Structure 1
Amino acid sequence: MAKSDGCDYFKRASLFWIVVVTVSMGFFTCTVFVPEKVPFAQLGAFGSFCKHLAENHAGFMFKGWCAAWAVHAFEAFIAMRMCREKGITNSTTRCLWFVQTLLYGFASLGLLLKYKPVHPKQR
């Protein structure tokens, strides 16, 4: 069986983090852009707090939303650098790391940071 040299290493983020980040960023996006569609009353105290923020601090919420995506984008570029440093040269695999990290942030980048490539022993 052939062993990979690590140039195409990819690991999907856990389903838990995929769901948590997707729901959280989706809720944040809806709260910022279409707060009239969000059922704040059904979310109890959390909904009341979010409604207050959406109604009274819309500018701050928008800046926070932009900052959240900026952080994810920054992490995605860090993932590209980490791919290079860890010897992941396959362009498709690097693209997968970039997109996954852009969407799920540190839940993806953490997997890449933990990856320790095995380098062949040199004589």
Structure 2
Amino acid sequence: MAKTDGSAYFRRSSLFWILAITLSMGYYTWAVFWPQQVPYDSLGPLGAFTKHLVNEHYSLLYKGWWAVWAIHTVEALVGLKICGDKGIDSSIARLLWFSQTVFFGFASLGLLIKYKPDRRSKQQ
């Protein structure tokens, strides 16, 4: 962070959330768009559950996949509003918050919500 006034504030989500969300969304995408390629038998209870959902509730899975991305996009737009409210003026920082929140949702937005800008720097 080059400035101390918080205008370029950005924090990366924790590695745990990055991995957990990437792997689960990757698996979800695989099950929705390439269900015939998922090795259900090799995945134990998760595979059996996924196979049941694909066979019995595919329409719900498909709509849910789009809903997840819509929710993440709305969260990212809220993140842009929060950036403005907290005085994060850097275009790069705002782009980073938006991108990270689209991909990782509340794991990113939560960090932004917790950020408390220094009140003295906003008054100057």
Asked if these proteins are the same fold (TM beyond 0.5), I'd say yes
- Structure 1 runs (4+) greater than 4 angstroms displaced: none
Per the alignment, do residues 61 and 3 of structure 1 end up closer, same or farther by CA in structure 2, a change over 3 Å counting? Answer: closer
1:71 & 1:37 partners in 2: Cα distance?
27
Q: Name the counterpart of 1:84.
A: 84
- Percentage identity across paired residues of the two chains: 52
Map 1:13-92 to 2 at 5 A.
13-92=13-92
Shift of 1:56: 1.9
Q: Name the counterpart of 1:117.
A: 117
Aligned partner letter, 1:117: P
Per the alignment, do residues 39 and 89 of structure 1 end up closer, same or farther by CA in structure 2, a change over 3 Å counting? Answer: same
Which deviates further from its counterpart, 54-63 or 17-26?
54-63
Per the alignment, do residues 39 and 106 of structure 1 end up closer, same or farther by CA in structure 2, a change over 3 Å counting? Answer: same
Structure 1 unpaired stretches of 5+: none
Structure 1-normalised TM-score? 0.94
Map 1:86-105 to 2 at 5 A.
86-105=86-105
Q: How large is the RMSD of aligned CA atoms in angstroms?
A: 1.6
1:77 & 1:92 partners in 2: Cα distance?
15
Deviations 1:49-102 (CA, angstroms, capped at 9, x unpaired): 101111221111001101111110111001000000000000111000000000
Deviations 1:95-121 (CA, angstroms, capped at 9, x unpaired): 000000000000000000000000217
Structure 2 unpaired stretches of 5+: none
Per the alignment, do residues 3 and 68 of structure 1 end up closer, same or farther by CA in structure 2, a change over 3 Å counting? Answer: closer
Q: Name the counterpart of 2:10.
A: 10
2:58 & 2:42 partners in 1: Cα distance?
21
Shift of 1:42: 1.2
2:37 & 2:109 partners in 1: Cα distance?
32
Q: Name the counterpart of 1:107.
A: 107
